[in-house]
Amino acid sequence: DHVLVRYFYEGVVARRQGSLHWNNAFRIFPCRDGYILLSLFQQWETLVEWLEAEGMAEDLTDKEWLDREKRLQQLDHVIEVLERWTKSHTVAELVEKGQLMRFPWAEVTSIPRLVDSPQLKERSFWVEVEHPQSGKKYKFPGALCKLSRSPWRVGSHVPSVGEHNKDIYQELGLSEYEIEALAKEGVI
């Protein structure tokens, strides 16, 4: 999300850091039933109080951990403690309480959970699109937002295998003659 900004302003080409955000502010942690994206440094004292109330803060209650630079230098330790804690909870437990505490946390949603999301169902987000040749219906993402003056509608059907190949070959610079010749040879 900030890769280009870092490049333009700092001249830094960002490298992958696993599930850790480039600025070390966020990381994906495992829970009992899935994954959650946690902020590592926002509202640090509140987070540590929560861990302490559950007997899982370990040494993070020591005053030295109030220093953000110390936490950055010892990030692996902070992550280990937080990971032990997140694994003792469900995603819903952490997200719900985290939201009450105004933490910018979010569930890392699996595809099945996304498709079954009560919020997306309530918004009628998923739409069924019928394929004109097979008659089979497919579930598609619908409108990202609903506007009263310009309602969203499905623009086209699910493409058949190879339906747009000719268009793609032409975009790649192949002439009609070249496409026909390659088809006759069984290349395409």
Indicate the length of the chain as a whole number: 188
pLDDT tens readout for residues 133-175: 888 888 888 888 888 888 887 777 767 788 899 999 999 999 9
pLDDT tens readout for residues 102-137: 999 999 998 998 999 999 999 999 998 888 888 888
For the chain, domains (ranges, CATH) are: 3-108 (3.30.1540.10), 117-157 (no CATH), 159-188 (no CATH)
What is the pLDDT confidence band of residue 88, given thresholds at 50, 70 and 90?
A: very high
- pTM of the entire structure? 0.65
Q: Print burial letters for 55-87: b (CB count within 10 Å at least 16), e (below 16).
A: ebbbebeeeebeeeeebeeeeeebbebbeebbe
